[in-house]
A and B are shown apart, each in its own frame.
Chain A
Amino acid sequence: MLNVIKEQKDAALLVRLVGSIEEGVQFEQLLGNVPAELIVNCKEVPRINSVGVKAWIRYFQSLQTKGVRLRFVECSSAIIEQVNLISNFVPADSVESFFVPFACTKCKSELLGLYSSAAIKKLQGNVPAQTCPKCGGSAEFDDIPEEYFGFLTR
């Protein structure tokens, strides 16, 4: 079930989405009145199902139609997967930052690194390995680069 934490950030509204996005989601009720700029933090969205995707597209497209500027920050892997699968899941260039998955080659831990879209574009998808904070081993990017970063080249 999705919860929303709202915060005013200058003229923009910052909303933090917390929880899975599923069939019962009511974005209109959860977000209420939206100003001309909306920042959506998706860090804590672990899962979104197909009906959740449909509700998401419907809601955010309606905001776009009203002229609201949308910015998506700290997007989880679940959100990035949908951004890559559906061309109109979010408006072009609206994902400002997102989590990049890593896996430690030594202890197999799953790790997440937060990157800006600009930084990944600069790296051309070649994300350097990181040091695993748990065992000191090498943590490598753990997905298919052409797919995970695909939305940045669309």
Chain B
Amino acid sequence: MSETLLLISSLSEDQVFAKAVGAEAKLPVQTVTSAAQGAEFINKHEPSVIFVDASNEQLYLQFEEAIQNSVGIFSDKINANAIHFLSSENLDKVRYLIQSPLFGHFVLRNYGDPASAGEHYGRLVRATRAERAFGLKTLLRPDAKVQIVKLQSTGQKQDAVEAVKNYFVAAKFQPRMAVMIANAVDELLMNAMFDAPVDEIGKPLYSSAPRSAVFDLKDRQAIEMHVGYDGKYAAVTAVDLFGSLDKVKLLSHISKIYTDEEYKVRTTVAGAGLGLATVFRSGGSFFFVSESNVRTEVTVFFRRADNYREFREQFRFLSTQYYF
């Protein structure tokens, strides 16, 4: 494997973005403009990170076909953890990516400043190059302050959410932005408390338990919340010790929108299945890292902005990193 970032795109903004990512992740960037050239490079050099312009289905299918015809989709040379799709369309418009066996990361091309976005995303890419991409500290600037909160009971969730909101208000986030971050944390903690716990055969333990149920979080059910801010980005991680995050379900939930079709209330499960999608559509970025049966860390990022409109339109991504 070569320590290279391969960019398959002819767009200049992608090139600026990839260059900044490469600089932060300490990876030289190799750029090609067609899927066929990209597949050839992958076959010969096995780059450690691949960025692909997948703005439309045709571009994506060209990439998939080129991979299929060169190394094969299930080859050891291809690992979804290393593939980053770049798109100008939001997640709900690119279902072909969500359904792709190659899906690892999705980057919405609303870079704003591509170099600045690349610096931020480069820290994530650098983390994915480590043996395990766990830990919030590496995802923020080196001078970031990270606080760790251990939750002892599900009943502490609302206090934790409120504390996060107050922390970011004190850090000069507009109250409306702080509420948005608090909402994201609420969803992450609720998922870690009620959706992550599974039994030995992987059956969810609390799928039908009311989300207001109060019980102790001890031993394997212990939950941690890590809160970080580096002066530019706010980030909060929820940590659980089950490593049960299902990628297909996750992507299905997060890309679902209810602006055209109606939301149907399911009474068989206590969760709503709305939280992550709402956060992503509201400007948050996600990094999901899960080691099967060991640990899951879900981090949400928000960049501080001078006004809410800028906050909503910020650069965003959805990244997944799975270890089996």
Contact = CB atoms under 8 A, between A and B. Distances in A.
Interface of A: 22-24, 46-47, 49-51, 53-54, 57-58, 61, 77-78, 81, 84-89, 101, 103, 108, 110, 142-144, 147, 150, 154
Contact of B259 (A57, A87, A108): A87
B16 interface: no
A86 B176 contact: no
A54 B272 contact: yes
Interface in B236-295: 257-263, 265, 270-275, 278, 281-282
Chain B interface category by residue count: 35 or more
A50 B274 contact: yes
B271 A51 contact: yes
Interface stretch (B55-63, B113-121, B138-146, B306-314): B306-314
A63 B82 CA distance: 50
B176, B257, B258, B306 interface centre (most CB from chain A within 10 Å)? B176
A57 B265 contact: yes
Contacts of A143: 308-309, 312
A87 B260 contact: yes
A90 to B, nearest CB: 12
B2 to A, nearest CB: 42
B259 to A, nearest CB: 6
B309 A142 contact: yes
Contact of A88 (B179, B262, B272, B282): B262
Closest 9 CB pairs of A and B: A23-B211, A50-B275, A54-B272, A50-B272, A50-B274, A24-B212, A88-B262, A23-B212, A86-B258
A46 B179 contact: yes
B265 A61 contact: yes
Nearest to B267: A58
B277 to A, nearest CB: 8
19 contacts: A22-B158, A22-B186, A23-B190, A23-B210, A49-B186, A51-B272, A53-B272, A85-B257, A85-B281, A87-B258, A87-B260, A87-B261, A87-B263, A101-B308, A103-B174, A103-B308, A110-B175, A142-B309, A144-B313
Interface of B: 158, 174-176, 179, 182-183, 186-187, 190, 210-212, 257-263, 265, 270-275, 278, 281-282, 306-309, 312-313
B166 to A, nearest CB: 13
Contacts of B263: 53, 57, 86-89
Contact of A142 (B210, B278, B308): B308
A50, A53, A58, A143 interface centre (most CB from chain B within 10 Å)? A50
A85 B272 contact: no
Contact of A78 (B179, B187, B258): B179
Contacts of B257: 85
Contact of B274 (A53, A87, A110): A53
Contacts of B258: 85-88
A86 B306 CA distance: 28
Contact of A108 (B190, B210, B211, B306): B306
A49 B275 contact: yes
Given A47-B182, A85-B257, A143-B308, 12 more contacts: A50-B190, A50-B278, A54-B265, A61-B265, A85-B259, A88-B258, A103-B308, A103-B309, A110-B176, A142-B309, A143-B309, A144-B309
